[in-house]
Amino acid sequence: MKLSTIVLTIMLGLCSHAMAQNKDITIKLVETSDVHGSFFPYDFINRSPKSGSMARVYTFVQGLRKEYGKDNIYLLDNGDILQGQPISYYYNYIVPQKENIAASALNYMGYDAATVGNHDIETGHSVYDKWFKELHFPILGANIINARTNKPYILPYTVIKKKNGLKVCVIGMLTPAIPNWLKETIWSGLRFDEMVSCAKRTMEEVKKKENPDVIVGLFHSGWNGGIKTPQYDEDASQRVAQEVPGFDVIFFGHDHTPHNTIEKNINGKDVICLDPANNAQKVALTTLTLKPKTIKGKRSYVLTHASGELVDVRNIIPDKDFMQHFQPEIDSVKAWSEQVIGKFANTIYTKDCFFGNSAFNDLILDLELKITHADIAFNAPLQFNSAIKAGNVTVADMFSLYKYENQLCVMRLTGEEVRKHLEMSYDLWVNTMKSPDDHLLLLANTRDDAQRLGFKNFSFNFDSAAGIDYVVDVTKPDGEKVHILRMSNGEPFDEHKWYTVAVNSYRANGGGELLTKGAGIARDSLKNRIIWESEKDQRHYLMEEIKKAGIMNPQPHNNWKFIPEAWTVPAAARDRKILFGE
């Protein structure tokens, strides 16, 4: 080759490279959140196909990578992935020596970063610390602080650098309300800082040290609402978007509610805010276009266009390679979860729990009393519309019977505290009826909210009781609805007497605020009220009792009811039709 030809080839190559560098770059950021064990298009609980799954998400992401180039696609997860399906429980506690499926799946899919959810922390140090180490990408939590060093326990942020030349910074945070729900031993050595102030100091550090082209917030915290205290807000994503300049995009989650808005921050800049809700049914997708610029010989990029959308992946075909790769794991969990542990003589339904005594809720209450020998037990429905059918009962059915890995506790409460606890529960649950045509239940336009599903408030705080007989007069104002008649064994009920009360660990720690706001117990006194706590999760003990019984015939206690029945019975039928179409 002639020297002139060589020189010309080099010059053309340099020009081509320079032209490429001067072109606008379009990137796409994809967020999953609150996956809750939905890795595969199979529901291990109901033994049926599942619409949402990471297998479908992977098909979507691989399509983007093929169309736009893998270096222009950024894949992020926003926590609450270690809990929700039997497959999660299996890898957390049954075969903990194996790599967690939540690490294997995310690594296979090529995630770039992730954050931690409150249900991830709920699994305990031994599970989540191991999971952190198994991930092949950064796990983030700027406000998860090592209490001994006062430094972040995991990375506060990461800067993702790909071949496109961009520096994309992701700042991760978790809702600081963890101590309100989980006992300290689960998060020992940690503290959870308020999000707005943490975002401000982290943003300052990022701008000082990293000079990124794009800054993304990845927050396991809802939009606005939840618990609000003088120290923190549970759901603070909106406040961060508005009050902390610097973010181009904020991906969030935790509240299981689809969200797609553009917010103005205090400097008047637009911030795209997206929440794909839960169970890998949707993904949040942001498209950003950046224009290159050179200042003092240094190349950087300016954001010129940004858009956001929620993409429904429920009808996308699951990725065949993904499914084939994980088929051995799927088969192992199926074999474990389909083990028969007993029989039910009749079918029980969670939907019955909302309208009075129900066989479903009373079975749990019965077993709580049997296991603990407490005087009284509290429990709330943890599923909206689930059933365990008559016939063989399996390990998988236990995840319908009891959704979360809460432990079981016994507390000392006065009779007055028992009543006040129930007063707040029913105030969250039922309407104050002014006429026979009113609703019985406290309903709202929340059908798209996966945690409310038509109720104004969270149904997992709708506690009813066993061990006492009582009525709930829905014509009375809030705080005056519950009238306790007697102990269910016929003994008098005394508001000044101390009783032993069985509750789950979420409630015992102050979850739902029924014991604090409701019963009036100071939060720092709750720990001293606990006189017994189970070593394992409540589901384990419920399972053991069913195994012992062999055949069970769950029936409602009929120890409480809504009154006046002339109003409440027809109203219950109307509300049942609204909620369940029957």
For 49-99, give the DSSP string.
E-S--HHHHHHHHHHHHHHH-GGGEEEEE-S--SSSSHHHHIIIIISTTSP
Beta strands in 175-325 (DSSP E): 190-192, 214-220, 225-228, 233-235, 249-252, 259-264, 270-275, 282-295, 298-312
* Residue ranges in 477-518 assigned as alpha helix (H): 505-508
Q: What is the DSSP letter of 326?
A: T
The helix (run of H) or strand (run of E) holding residue 367 is helix 359-372
Segment 201-237, tens digit of pLDDT: 999 999 999 999 999 999 999 999 888 989 999 999 9
In angstroms, the CA 369 to CA 284 distance is 44
Residue 451 has a pLDDT of: 76
The helix (run of H) or strand (run of E) holding residue 468 is strand 468-473
> What single string gives the DSSP state of each residue in 532-561?
EEEEEEHHHHHHHHHHHHSEE-------EE
Ordered by start, the domain boundaries in the chain are: 23-333, 339-580
SS (H, E, C) 393-425: EECCCHHHHCCCCCEEEEEEEEHHHHHHHHHHH
In angstroms, the CA 248 to CA 244 distance is 11
Residue 21 has a pLDDT of: 59
Segment 229-281, tens digit of pLDDT: 899 999 999 999 999 999 999 999 999 999 999 999 999 999 999 999 999 99
* Residues 6+ positions from 407 with CB-CB distance below 8 Å: 183, 504, 505, 533, 534, 535, 536, 537, 538
Q: How far is CA 203 from CA 115, 156, 288, 496, in A?
A: 17, 10, 20, 53
Per CATH, which fold does 23-333 belong to? Purple Acid Phosphatase; chain A, domain 2 (3.60.21)
CA 63 centroid distance within chain? 28
Question: What's the whole-model pTM score?
Answer: 0.90
> What are the φ and ψ backbone dihedral angles of 300, each rounded to 5 degrees?
-145, -175
Nearest CA to 218 out of 191, 260, 247, 197 is that of 247
* Residues 6+ positions from 306 with CB-CB distance below 8 Å: 248, 249, 270, 272, 286, 287, 288, 289
Classify each residue of 453-462 as buried b or exposed e, where b means 16 or more C-beta atoms within 10 Å of its C-beta: ebbebbbbbb
Q: Which residues pair with 310 in a beta bridge?
A: 284
Token duo for residue 188: 């020992």
Q: pLDDT tens digits, the chain, 582 residues: what are they?
A: 555 554 444 444 444 444 445 799 999 999 999 999 999 999 999 999 999 999 999 999 999 999 999 999 999 999 999 999 999 999 999 999 999 999 999 999 999 999 999 999 999 999 999 999 999 999 999 999 999 999 999 999 999 999 999 999 999 999 999 999 999 999 999 999 999 999 999 999 999 999 999 999 999 999 998 889 899 999 999 999 999 999 999 999 999 999 999 999 999 999 999 999 999 999 999 999 999 988 777 788 999 999 999 999 999 999 999 999 999 999 999 999 999 999 999 999 999 999 999 999 999 999 999 999 999 999 999 999 999 999 999 999 999 999 989 999 999 999 999 999 999 999 999 999 999 999 999 999 888 777 788 999 999 999 999 999 999 999 999 999 999 999 999 999 999 999 999 999 999 999 999 999 999 999 999 999 999 999 999 999 999 999 999 999 999 999 999 999 999 999 999 999 999 998
Tell the residue number behind the tokens 């009075």, with chain if given. Answer: 356
Nearest CA to 199 out of 239, 154, 147 is that of 239
Residue 7 has a pLDDT of: 44
In angstroms, the CA 361 to CA 555 distance is 9
The helix (run of H) or strand (run of E) holding residue 526 is helix 526-529
Side chain identity, residue 107: N
* Region for residue 225 given its phi and psi (left: phi exceeds 0; alpha: psi -120 to 50; beta: otherwise): left
HSE-CB of 416 using CA atoms within 13 angstroms: 3
Nearest CA to 404 out of 214, 90, 122 is that of 122
Classify the C-alpha dihedral 372-538-403-235 as positive or negative: positive
SS3 label, residue 228: strand
Residue 2 has a pLDDT of: 53
Classify the C-alpha dihedral 554-557-563-565 as positive or negative: positive
User: Would you call 304 exposed, middle or buried from its count of C-beta atoms within 10 A (0-12, 13-18, 19+)?
Assistant: exposed
Residue 81 has a pLDDT of: 98
CATH number assigned to the domain with residue range 339-580, chosen from the 4 options 2.60.40.10, 3.30.70.260, 3.90.780.10, 3.40.50.300: 3.90.780.10
